[in-house]
Copies of this chain bind each other. A is one copy, B any other.
Amino acid sequence: MPILVMKFGGTSVANPDRIRRAAKRVGVEVAKGYDVIVIVSAMAGKTNELVGWVEETSPLYDAREYDAVVSSGENVTAGLMALTLQEMDVPARSWQGWQVPLMTTSAHSAARIREIGTDNIGRKFAEGMKVAVIAGFQGISPEGRVTTLGRGGSDTTAVAFAAAFGAERCDIYTDVDGVYTTDPRICEKARKLDRIAFEEMLELASLGAKVLQTRSVELAMRYHVKLRVLSSFEEQSDEAGTLVCDEEEIMEMKPVAGVAYSRDEAKLTLMSVADRPGIAAIIFSALSDAGVNVDMIVQNISEEGRTDMTFSCPVGEVPRAEAALAAIRTEGRLNFSEAIADRNVAKVSVVGIGMRSQSGVAAKMFKVLSDEGINIKVITTSEIKISVLIDRKYMELAVQALHDAFELDKAD
């Protein structure tokens, strides 16, 4: 039998009614002739409740016990999903991570999958079981302790099972009906994409389009697992949702696939830093040690041996960044005239594999922003992405103007 992996997130299994709805979707695929592996998250809100108890109990918790506690929500939904399928006369049973077994590293709370045993589940499929329901997000370490894969880890569980079992496709059911050209909440012309390349999805995911966990997309890309993102709240056809796939499977090649944004950014500039080797290492090691997630980095033109160093980070991390920088100045490891923080910026990016082969995307982006009177503060580029920092008040205008200019509202 061909195998299909179907993953249901927390809102899709938030209560017994929603689990029934999800189980019906599984039944449809079983009726088509698939053996189905279902991956479930915990009921919406349950993992947060468990995390809350752990943090209340022990601010500097033992990650092994954290994992033992927070993994329990998935055990509940896995059992309930199996029961629901049985009620529909679909032969099903649940599996916890240690029963599969899903072996991981010992990096508790952020474990990586090392191996998925296929024998136990494969034998049950051979005996006539139609659906294996897997508690997502969890595995076991070489020491036999329960591990978890990090928040959103059930997406990664799903892709890993699809790779291990050679599944035809991995369908990720969520509360949105696919991947959009941009956020429909701030651009009403946003259009659902039928297909998107893994590389584009990776850029969009890391830019804050929280449809899929980044690691799951990386894993799918590496093992060529076809990923489909679709809504568990709508009737589905075979063509519903958005297929995330190798770029060879995408016919059309617009230069830009989507416009992403990140609202709460801040820009910090260190004025008049000595321009000599090793300075950047000192600055960014100190920021990393302080837990500051630095995103864009720009070094301005050097004059007379001094330079200005600019970087961006989430606005909430500015106090930590300032403290870390003050400390290295006090210690005499770095000299600068002043650190200027701009807390009112946002990042807007255009992403598309097409820009590899089509020139002029950057020029067009800058012209569009200029025509709207929007000043660009920082620019960074990658092979398939151009990002700019702008004043936050222009963010929605910028997204809408870029969406129009690159004609993202038009089907291919």
Instruction: Specify which chain B residues have a CB less than 8 angstroms from the CB of A62 in the assembled complex.
Output: 82-83, 86, 93
Interface residues on A, range: 35 or more
Q: What B residues does A69 contact at CB under 8 A?
A: 75-76, 79-80, 83
Would you call the interface of chain A mostly helix, strand, loop, or mixed?
Answer: helix
| A382 at the binding interface (Cβ < 8 Å) | no
> Which residue of B has the minimal Cβ distance to A23?
B57
Segment at the interface with B among A94-102, A297-305, A373-381, A393-401: A94-102
Which residue in chain B gives the minimum CB-CB distance to A135? B68
Cβ–Cβ contact B57 & A16, under 8 A = yes
A50 at the interface (CB under 8 A from B): yes
Query: How many copies of the polypeptide does the oligomer hold?
Result: 2
* Residue contact A64 to B80, C-beta cutoff 8 Å: no
Of B65, B72, B144, the contact of A82 (CB 8 Å cutoff): B65
A56 contacts the other chain (Cβ, under 8 Å)?
A: yes
**Are B19 and A57 in contact, CB atoms less than 8 angstroms apart?**
yes
Q: Is there an interface contact between B66 and A86, defined as CB atoms closer than 8 Å? A: no
Instruction: Given the known inter-chain contacts A19-B57, A53-B16, A76-B53, please indicate yes or no for A96 contacting B83, CB distance below 8 A.
Output: no
Interface residue A78 (Cβ < 8 Å from any Cβ of B): yes
Which 8 pairs of residues, A with B, have the shortest CB-CB distance? A69-B79, A68-B79, A58-B83, A72-B72, A65-B79, A72-B75, A57-B83, A65-B83
A-B contacts besides A65-B86, A69-B79, 10 pairs, CB < 8 Å: A16-B57, A50-B76, A53-B76, A61-B83, A62-B93, A64-B93, A65-B83, A68-B96, A72-B75, A96-B146
Interface residues of A (CB under 8 A from B): 16, 19-20, 50, 53-54, 56-58, 61-62, 64-66, 68-69, 71-73, 75-76, 78-80, 82-84, 86-87, 93-94, 96, 98-99, 144-146
